[in-house]
Chains A and B, each alone.
Chain A
């Protein structure tokens, strides 16, 4: 089976795709404001025309590289290229000011690759085991799993839970549109044929993540940046770092994989948490924030490990771990690779091929990243006023190409405006996307279970795993409530 998988991966077209998509991801990630999710959303219309494995390979390669490339702008300009680089931007930038940009960027690059590979290792060990367990799942377990994913997206994401709930409300409401419901009624379509299949997911994604970002870029005053070239060895200092911080690398990779595997929490949250852990357990706590490499090593490994970890729930249960895998699931369905435990039994060679592509993409990252660091000046100097209109045209073509109709462009525009207004108000985007993807699943599992149980809600707790998942979901939702009540209690005592 491994030989079969190797045969799938070692095709010239797959290797070329990984390389080209990697360069594309590196470029998109390096430019401040353009995120890894946006790189994926822009890639999807092109993946439509590829075979399944190159299509998935292109997304794997682009996202991994984009997460690393976010560090380049963060280090050199103190402007994180992607949100996942924000956690350690202070240390990285101060190192660059002290003339150690090569050490900082080298650490980000080298430990990103290690984190990505370790995350993949966990993915390839854990996913098949979990898939075996998932075979025993019924609609009750899946219902809780989906609900757990949505709760994680709201309560683990950055910002106030109320804002996350607004986002989830928007996503779930949008998911109601169309005929995909228990009775097959044309819900909220108002006579539109285009809406019968529901709100198309890819144009909505392009709107939320790309068009909204274009709009945002026009609300900022343009800045011209001058970036000094990076001098000195990139990889040599990393050997010292590896020998000095082996525990941090392992810890960052494990925490990153774990957080990535939680639905709704992705690379950015993994980086923040790993940076905090690194500081807490460090012997040199005072050096954090002054240009210390330790946090970079741990959080840099963590955010790339999270990219791999997010694929665990996506492949095993068909439930996305972050916004990127939410898109991936859409692509997999279109390609006939329906994610879920059955794919591990029916097409295991495909799954192992995906794992191998992860390793391959992380290895490719080293040379592509090395080049990116050296041409960083030119890469970051690409003026946004030229770039943004070009990206807008790509967005419009991509949204059009999904169904070859302008309906996609209308959806893209509508969600672009919604996404822009959400970001302006600090409302996170991830819960909305997960709501849109998981809404129909939540409905299907809920109605099926209710019919099976003949309307008895207690049936949701009648099976052991289902009860466990249910209790976990309820506890997760209660934590913020308890915190809120405690704060209120304290406030009243103070005012008394």
Chain B
């Protein structure tokens, strides 16, 4: 997802304006001109200059002869299966957060790993085997040995 300087500059500019505006919500130290708002103001100010620099540079190049825009090849992956895979990785982390407190750690990560491996074109038996071993080893290692309270469900209660 390659963006050009104009877009990057615009994003930086918006973030910088946000920092500048919100910096006034934070009162200074009593009797001083400095406080919690100082740093947001300085960083916002720097961001403002940077954003303008990128934006102007980007707009100039667009009208000029030497236009450097994102080439179609940079974003080729967004138009085929690979885009689905990238979205699936993101979705699986969200699934982990939502599902693991309900059904437990082991089934959640089993579903995630098997789905992602199959999507990547792995052999189903390999996917199942590696996922099962990983899920059990990670759960045992972190939950039993390192005492991390990983989400428990019916399966975990049955096993340990």
Q: List 10 A-B contacts (CB under 8 A).
A: A169-B12, A172-B43, A182-B35, A184-B36, A187-B36, A385-B120, A416-B90, A446-B39, A450-B32, A451-B34
Ranked nearest first, the 6 interchain pairs of A and B with the lowest CB-CB distance are A385-B120, A389-B116, A218-B85, A219-B77, A185-B36, A389-B113
CB distance from B101 to the nearest CB of A (A): 8
Q: Point out the residues of chain B lying under 8 angstroms from A121, CB to CB.
A: none
Interface mask (A28-69 → B, CB under 8 Å = 1, otherwise 0): 000000000000000000101100000000000000000000
Q: Is residue A383 within 8 Å, beta carbon to beta carbon, of the partner chain?
A: yes
CB under 8 Å from chain A, chain B span 28-71: 28-29, 32-36, 38-40, 43, 46-47, 50, 53-54, 57
Q: Is residue A388 within 8 Å, beta carbon to beta carbon, of the partner chain?
A: yes
Q: Point out the residues of chain A lying under 8 angstroms from B90, CB to CB.
A: 215, 413, 416-417
Determine whether the beta carbon of B77 is less than 8 Å from that of A393: no
State in angstroms the CA–CA spacing of A49 and B38 once bound together: 38
Determine whether the beta carbon of B97 is less than 8 Å from that of A388: no
CB distance from A175 to the nearest CB of B (A): 8
Q: How many residues of B contact A (CB 8 A)?
A: 61
State in angstroms the CA–CA spacing of A401 and B150 once bound together: 8
CB distance from B137 to the nearest CB of A (A): 10
Query: Among B3, B116, B127, which residue has the most Cβ atoms of chain A within 10 A?
Result: B116
Main secondary structure, interface of B, reads helix
State in angstroms the CA–CA spacing of A185 and B25 once bound together: 10
State in angstroms the CA–CA spacing of A389 and B57 once bound together: 40
Determine whether the beta carbon of B121 is less than 8 Å from that of A222: yes
State in angstroms the CA–CA spacing of A421 and B1 once bound together: 7
Q: Point out the residues of chain A lying under 8 angstroms from B142, CB to CB.
A: 397, 401
Interface positions of B (Cβ within 8 A of A): 1-3, 8, 12, 15-16, 19, 22, 26-29, 32-36, 38-40, 43, 46-47, 50, 53-54, 57, 74, 77, 82, 85-86, 89-90, 92-94, 96-97, 101, 109, 112-113, 116-117, 120-122, 126-127, 130-131, 134-135, 138, 142, 146, 148-150
Using CB atoms, name the residue of chain A closest to B116.
Answer: A389
Q: Is residue A158 within 8 Å, beta carbon to beta carbon, of the partner chain?
A: no
CB within 8 Å for A393 and B122 given contacts A162-B50, A169-B47: no
Known: A409-B97, A424-B2. 19 other contacts (CB 8 A): A49-B146, A165-B50, A166-B54, A169-B46, A169-B50, A183-B35, A183-B36, A211-B93, A215-B89, A386-B117, A386-B126, A393-B109, A394-B138, A397-B142, A409-B93, A413-B94, A424-B1, A424-B74, A446-B38
